[in-house]
Chain A
Amino acid sequence: MAETTVREYAGSIGSTVKSFWHGLSITLSHLLRRPMTVQYPDRTPLHVRDMLPPRYRGFLEVDPDICTGCQACERACPIACIAIVLEKDPANPKQRVVSQFDIDEAKCMFCGLCVEPCPTGSIQHTREFEASQRDIRNLVFRWADPEKPFPVYKVDKTAEYYPRVPLGSLVRAKLAERAWDAPGPKYLPPEPPRPPAEKPAAPAAAKPAPPAAPGGQTPESK
């Protein structure tokens, strides 16, 4: 230790008093001010979901009505959490249908890269973010019903906008269907049940069974 002069000795007492004076007055001034905590989840003026900015990247939502089945989102996804399967409509061979459109929200990192290439704005981030599930497999959102595949949307190049359902309504409906502690599917994802009528007709036409494949294409299956 270097020698301490009287000046330093007294000076350190002085600066201690001065800095404590300021410090204590600032903490006291904050005692008199209003805290700024947002009291999530139940004491906010609005539902927290409604306080988020519109660009918030929450759960992904797909509007099947305007999905073109272009699979651009599937290709853009860096972690392959989107799985899309396109088929021909058995009733109308010219019409292609989406028989599987799964988004694994448990895997999704909410980067928004899938939203950007979508030609119609069918896939969008919503402001929904509260959907904890006891079984992580319940976080796979299936936007296409394998039993009722939806036809792809034909893009009208001249259209000003595409008729999209209100953002978030579909995710909310899906979340409401499922209790947080609902049991998960047995397989991951479950084998999509096929319409039994298809089987006798298929062998001749279809090549090595594309209908069986969808399960194998999703990221989860090993």
Chain B
Amino acid sequence: MEKLILRRVDRNSEEMILNFGPQHPSTHGVINFIVETDGEVMKKAVPDVGYLHRSLEKIGETVTYPGYMPYTDRIDYVAAMFANEGYAIAVERLLKLEVPARAQWLRAISCELCRIASHLISIGTMTMDIGAFTPMLHGVRERETINDLIEALCGARLTYNYHRIGGVAYDLPEGWRDRTLAFLDHFDKFLGEFDRLISFNEIYVKRLANVAVIGGAQAIDYGLVGPNLRGSGVDWDLRRDMPYGAYPSFEFAIPVGRGFVGTSGDSFDRYYVRVLEMAESSKIVRQALETIPEGEILAKVPRNLKPEAGEALSRVESARGEMAYYVVSDGTNKPYRVRARTGSFTAMGIIEDVSPGLMVADLVALIASLDVVAPEIDR
């Protein structure tokens, strides 16, 4: 990057260096791209990260094990449930703790609702970056209902802090099951409407099909995870391939990009895999609500947690792909080290490689299709 900034630009050349961010409506203060353009065509776009760094991993070393849970909300504030769950599972592995079945189910329900909410934001902002404002607000409207549901479940709309080490904090409130099922009925219809409104709009398809193609091998090389990886045609989902929690009990499909309108691995595939995933999540929530077992929601956990010295790793399939927590204990009541591996950070790496030859407008589509969330990049 230094090279790019410091290189003298020939005054007679046609090239222009653009600072795409941080003060830009598409990157809104948290990311910067240094873009080398020749007219509308980019020669290169180099991401510059770190604008939202808040030392979340370092904070983990200064608070107690349960006390770190609210901080995980802030690692990915669009889909905080997954960060909760990943951290909880890591500490449970340190403590060798069995989580009650009902808690596993509640985790699955809350996470899948959260996945729908997160994907709604993702596809919504994507349509807005392509220039259509209405679908975004339709997505946000549906997400609002999910927020209401989660608020009724755990009392917060964004930073849930719902999972606990050894289970979850609250049981289902009264009437919540029926409200959720009613919402899912509505939501399945909404997905059809959304597809007709924007997904297969000719302009939208033309803007995304065959744009910024990432092949399967390239995606694996760069460590892409989650919908981005599946959009490139790689059939890999931790919920099925390395099951955890309640997931082995559910039937669901893993949508994989196969070139829905263009090439496999183009921006539209990454987008549409998310749309299909929402339908699958909706199925999972239905199944979970039907089969949820009775019982405890929280295992017996000592108030002052002091795991034995050791280390544990957890991997969960978050809305942005694989999220891993690595927790090291030194036997005290505070972690020795907490490390979070997030999908957005690796997704940023591929932009430099994919961007040459794209147009400036495609860069926006590429960033949106990778669904990067700034706090996840910087933590």
Contacts and interface: CB of A to CB of B under 8 A. Distances in A.
**Residue with the highest number of chain B CB atoms closer than 10 Å, among A15, A26, A76:** A26
B155 A55 contact: yes
Interface in A100-128: 109-113, 116-117, 125
**Residue with the highest number of chain B CB atoms closer than 10 Å, among A54, A55, A117:** A55
Contacts of A26: 193, 196-197
A131 B73 CA distance: 24
A123 to B, nearest CB: 14
Interface in B175-210: 193, 196-198, 200-203, 205-206
**Residue with the highest number of chain B CB atoms closer than 10 Å, among A22, A23, A27, A117:** A23
B218 interface: no
Ranked 10 nearest A-B pairs via Cβ: A78-B67, A111-B70, A55-B155, A53-B152, A57-B155, A16-B202, A22-B196, A26-B197, A111-B161, A19-B201
Contacts of B151: 52-53, 55-56
Nearest to B156: A57
B161 A23 contact: no
Contact of A22 (B71, B141, B148, B197): B197
A16 to B, nearest CB: 4
A20 interface: yes
A182 to B, nearest CB: 28
Contacts of A53: 148, 151-152, 155, 173
Interface of A: 12, 15-16, 19-20, 22-23, 26-27, 30, 36, 52-57, 72, 76-78, 109-113, 116-117, 125
Nearest to A35: B141
A55 B202 contact: no
Contact of B159 (A19, A78, A111, A116): A111
B170 interface: yes
Contact of A56 (B68, B155, B159): B155
Given A12-B202, A26-B193, A27-B197, A55 B71 contact: no
Given A55-B154, A78-B71, A109-B70, A19 B200 contact: yes
Interface in B127-153: 134, 138, 141, 144, 148, 151-153
Contact of B202 (A20, A77, A109): A20
Given A52-B151, A112-B169, A20 B156 contact: no
Interface in B62-87: 63-64, 66-71, 73
A125 B303 CA distance: 21
Contacts of A77: 67
Contact of B67 (A12, A15, A20, A76): A76
Given A76-B67, A78-B64, A78-B70, A113 B202 contact: no
Given A55-B152, A57-B155, A111-B70, A15 B63 contact: no
B155 A113 contact: no
Given A78-B70, A112-B161, A117-B303, 18 more contacts: A12-B206, A16-B202, A19-B201, A23-B198, A36-B141, A53-B152, A55-B151, A55-B152, A55-B173, A56-B151, A56-B156, A109-B70, A109-B159, A111-B69, A113-B66, A113-B69, A116-B169, A125-B155
Nearest to A55: B155
Contact of A19 (B66, B70, B202, B303): B202
22 contacts: A15-B202, A15-B205, A16-B202, A19-B202, A20-B201, A22-B196, A23-B196, A30-B134, A36-B144, A53-B173, A54-B173, A55-B154, A55-B170, A56-B155, A78-B63, A78-B70, A110-B156, A111-B70, A111-B161, A112-B161, A113-B66, A116-B169
B322 to A, nearest CB: 26
Contacts of B134: 27, 30
A147 B277 CA distance: 60
Contacts of A117: 303
A12 B200 CA distance: 12
Contacts of B66: 76, 113
A72 B201 CA distance: 57
Contacts of B203: 16
B113 to A, nearest CB: 15
A117 B202 CA distance: 56
Given A16-B202, A78-B67, A113 B197 contact: no
A191 B276 CA distance: 60
Contacts of B202: 12, 15-16, 19-20
Nearest to A52: B151
B334 to A, nearest CB: 11
Nearest to A29: B193
